[in-house]
């Protein structure tokens, strides 16, 4: 049996309650956040009179903050031997920011809210992903991460959909719609308090004597871990921001009022495919499924490069969603497979720290190519990067090195 291959079984999948609870937490908070974020740029510019440059600065600072905080929260969860308190703190901070948006009368309060919200996202991310691995049987990790990712993505398109409906129902009352976002945010926090439990060994763990970010501790992260980080970085460089999907739709003539349809298509396919792909990854070598995900990205890029009409753009967008469904939860499962149990938080934190700037670099390069040569070259360049990443992955699989599952 090859490394990472799981024996096919007919057993019934039963994920722990905590995994399902964390899925609902992600769904509720993403619904709340996207309900606000889908309207926030328009609110800032149209209601508060903020410049587009200020909007860009706010978003850039917010996302950079989240990426940095993820490292330290993951490390801290390993050091204190607890995950839930940090998960609760992260989601709690995000919930506390939601009333600030409808109360804002100027840029200052909005900046504060976005900054604290992203700090909350950074605090919760790595400990939450580590907690999923802590409470899930090894043979079901792919399904667990796939389910959480699916439910998170449901919130990603449910939030904007609710925003559209509520704006229509309230006659465009931004502040009233922002108040509605408080409800799912509170629901997310309540689910953590009452439905998420740490395993007994984790809840009774003693704090570590050594801070995990030390040379001696980081050396315990095996070569397989760094191979996963390298593969994820290569994949991220090949896939830029989804904002370029919206620009591509606009470039073939889709009216501005219908552009959100592109993200709805992508997220529906993403949400529908992440859990099935996650379950599949528990039965086969995860690396082979990652290769399938890269093939989906190549197909998406080619279709988007040659698209003569919106129909082609939507098909390419659907393949993009399949790529996300096949890879994002899978990468989390791979990190959980290869990182030592007592360094999982650190492993997820470092993973996010490396892949975050890679996404920024990919988007900057895509923007430069788009401006100088047009959309076709941009997507063909992404396809080229994807093929290079695929070749590297196939080489790793053939050598049977690096990424190995703890089962099989």
Contact 398, 291 (CB under 8 A): no
pLDDT tier at 68 (50, 70, 90 boundaries)? confident
Residue 232 pLDDT > 70: yes
pLDDT of residue 124: 92
Mean pLDDT of the chain: 83
CB neighbours of 228 closer than 8 A, spacing ≥ 6?
Answer: 331, 334, 335, 338, 351, 402, 403
Region class of 374: left (phi > 0), else alpha (psi between -120 and 50), else beta: left
Query: Is it the case that residue 260 has pLDDT exceeding 80?
Result: no
Q: Which of 60-74, 110-124, 307-321 has the lowest mean pLDDT?
A: 60-74
For 44-55, give one letter per residue: b (16+ CB within 10 A) or e. Answer: beeeeebeeebb
CA–CA gap between residue 119 and residue 86 (Å, rounded): 12
**What is the band of 288 on the pLDDT scale with cuts at 50, 70, 90?**
confident
Answer whether 107's CB lies under 8 Å from 44's CB.
yes
Which residue shows structure tokens 């996302």? 63
Q: What is the mean pLDDT of residues 101-123?
A: 87
Structure tokens at 52: 């587009």
Q: Which percentage of the chain shows pLDDT scores above 70?
A: 84
Residue 184 clears pLDDT 90, i.e. is over it:
yes
Give the number of other Cβ atoms within 10 Å of residue 344's Cβ. 25
Neighbours of 341 (CB within 10 A): 13
| Beta-carbon count within 10 A of 216 CB | 8
pLDDT tens by residue, 364-408: 788 788 888 888 998 999 999 889 888 888 877 776 544 444 433
User: What pLDDT score does 311 carry?
Assistant: 93
DSSP 47: I
Q: What is the CATH number of domain 16-198?
A: 1.20.1250.20
Q: Please report the pLDDT score of residue 406 as a whole number.
A: 41
Measuring CA to CA, how many Å separate 318 from each of 121, 245, 256?
27, 11, 20
- Kindly report the pTM of this predicted structure: 0.77
* Residue 28, burial from CB neighbour count under 10 angstroms (0-12, 13-18, 19+): buried
198-212 tens-digit pLDDT:
887 654 455 555 555
Domain boundaries, the chain: 16-198, 212-402
More confident site: 406 or 353:
353
Tokens for 186? 């509170």
Q: Name the DSSP class of 407.
A: -
pLDDT bin (cut points 50, 70, 90) of residue 359 is confident
Greater confidence (342 vs 272) lies with: 272
Class of domain 212-402: mainly alpha
């Amino acid at each position: 049996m090859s490394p990472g291959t799981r024996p096919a079984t007919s057993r019934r999948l039963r994920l722990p309650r905590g995994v399902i609870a964390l899925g609902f937490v992600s769904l509720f908070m993403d619904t709340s956040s996207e309900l606000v974020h889908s309207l926030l740029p328009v609110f800032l510019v149209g209601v508060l009179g903020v410049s587009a440059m200020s909007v860009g600065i706010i978003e850039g600072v917010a996302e950079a903050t989240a990426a940095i905080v993820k490292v330290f929260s993951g490390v801290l969860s390993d050091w204190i031997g607890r995950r839930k308190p940090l998960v609760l703190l992260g989601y709690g901070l995000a919930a506390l920011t939601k009333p600030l948006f409808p109360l804002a009368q100027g840029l200052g309060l909005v900046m504060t809210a976005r900054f604290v919200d992203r700090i909350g996202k950074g605090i919760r991310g790595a400990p939450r992903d580590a907690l999923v691995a802590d409470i899930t049987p090894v043979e079901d990790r792919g399904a667990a991460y796939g389910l959480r990712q699916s439910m998170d993505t449901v919130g990603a398109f449910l939030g904007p959909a609710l925003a559209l409906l509520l704006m229509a129902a309230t006659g465009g009352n931004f502040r009233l719609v922002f108040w509605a976002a408080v409800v799912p945010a509170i629901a997310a926090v309540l689910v953590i308090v009452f439905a998420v439990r740490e395993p007994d060994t984790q809840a009774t763990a003693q704090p570590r004597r050594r801070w995990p970010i030390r040379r001696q501790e980081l050396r315990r992260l095996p070569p397989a871990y760094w191979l996963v980080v390298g593969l994820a970085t290569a994949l991220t460089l090949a896939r830029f921001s989804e904002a370029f999907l919206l620009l591509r739709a606009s470039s073939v003539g889709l009216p501005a009022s219908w552009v959100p349809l592109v993200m709805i298509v992508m997220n529906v396919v993403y949400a529908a495919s992440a859990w099935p792909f996650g379950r599949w990854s528990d039965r086969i070598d995860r690396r082979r499924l990652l290769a399938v995900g890269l093939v989906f990205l190549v197909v998406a890029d080619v279709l988007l490069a040659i698209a003569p009409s919106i129909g082609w753009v939507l098909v390419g967008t659907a393949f993009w969603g399949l790529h996300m469904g096949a890879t994002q939860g899978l990468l989390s499962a791979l990190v959980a497979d290869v990182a030592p149990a007592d360094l999982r938080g650190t492993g997820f934190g470092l993973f996010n720290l490396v892949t975050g700037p890679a996404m920024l670099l990919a988007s900057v390069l895509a923007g430069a190519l788009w401006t100088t040569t047009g959309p076709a070259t941009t997507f063909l360049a992404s396809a080229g990067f994807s093929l290079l990443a695929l070749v590297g992955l196939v080489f790793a699989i053939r050598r049977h090195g690096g990424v190995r599952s703890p089962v099989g």
